[in-house]
Amino acid sequence: MIRFLVYFLLAAVAFSMIAADPAEGPIALLMVVCLAGASLVVTRRFVEEKDFITIVFLAALCARLLFGIIVHSFGLREFAGSDALGYDTNASRIVDYWISGIGQGDPELARIMSIRGSGWGMQYLVSFIYLISNKSILVAQAFCAVIGAATVPLTYFCSEKMFHNKRVAKTTALAVAFFPAFIIWSSQLLKDGMMVFLIVLTLTLVIQLQRQFSWLGILVICFSLFGILSLRFYIFYVMVVAVIASFVVGLSTSLKSIVQRLAILIVLAAALSYLGVIETTTTDLRTYGSLERTQVSRADLARSAESGFGRDVDISTYGGALSAIPIGFIYLMFAPFPWEVTNFRQSITLPDVLIWWAMIPLLIYGLWYTLKNRLRACFPILIFTLMLTVSYSIFQGNIGTAYRQRTQIQVFLFMFIAVGWGLIREKIEDKKASEIIRKNKLNKQLRARFQERQKAT
Tell me the pLDDT tens digit for each residue of 375-418: 888 999 999 999 999 989 988 888 888 888 899 999 999 999 99
Band (251; pLDDT cuts 50, 70, 90): low
pLDDT over 70 at 456, yes or no: no
What's the predicted TM-score (pTM) here?
0.91
Which spans in 21-104 are helix H? 25-46, 50-73, 77-80, 83-100
Mapped onto helix, strand or coil, the DSSP state of residue 398 is strand
pLDDT over 90 at 124, yes or no: yes
How distant is the alpha carbon of residue 329 from its chain centre?
A: 19
Are 217 and 191 in contact, with CB atoms under 8 Å apart?
Answer: no
Cβ atoms within 10 A of the Cβ of 418, count? 27
CA angle 1, 55, 366 (to 5 degrees): 110
Tell me the pLDDT tens digit for each residue of 160-218: 999 999 999 999 999 999 999 999 999 999 999 999 999 999 999 999 888 888 888 88
- What would the mean pLDDT of 346-352 be, rounded to a whole number? 85
Band (147; pLDDT cuts 50, 70, 90): very high
The predicted structure's pLDDT at residue 289: 60
How many angstroms separate the CA atoms of 142 and 139, rounded?
A: 5
How many angstroms separate the CA atoms of 138 and 18, rounded?
A: 11
Are 332 and 402 in contact, with CB atoms under 8 Å apart?
Answer: yes
Write out the E strands in 162-218.
Answer: none
Ramachandran class of 7: left when φ > 0, alpha when ψ lies in -120 to 50, beta otherwise: alpha
Residue 163 amino acid letter: F
CA-based torsion, 378, 384, 387, 393: positive or negative: negative
**Nearest alpha-carbon partner for 210 in 42, 418, 378:** 378
Q: Picking from 110-114, 287-291, 398-402, 436-440, which range would have the lowest pLDDT averaged per residue?
A: 287-291
Cβ atoms within 10 A of the Cβ of 4, count? 8
Arithmetic mean of pLDDT over the chain: 87
Are 246 and 240 in contact, with CB atoms under 8 Å apart?
Answer: no
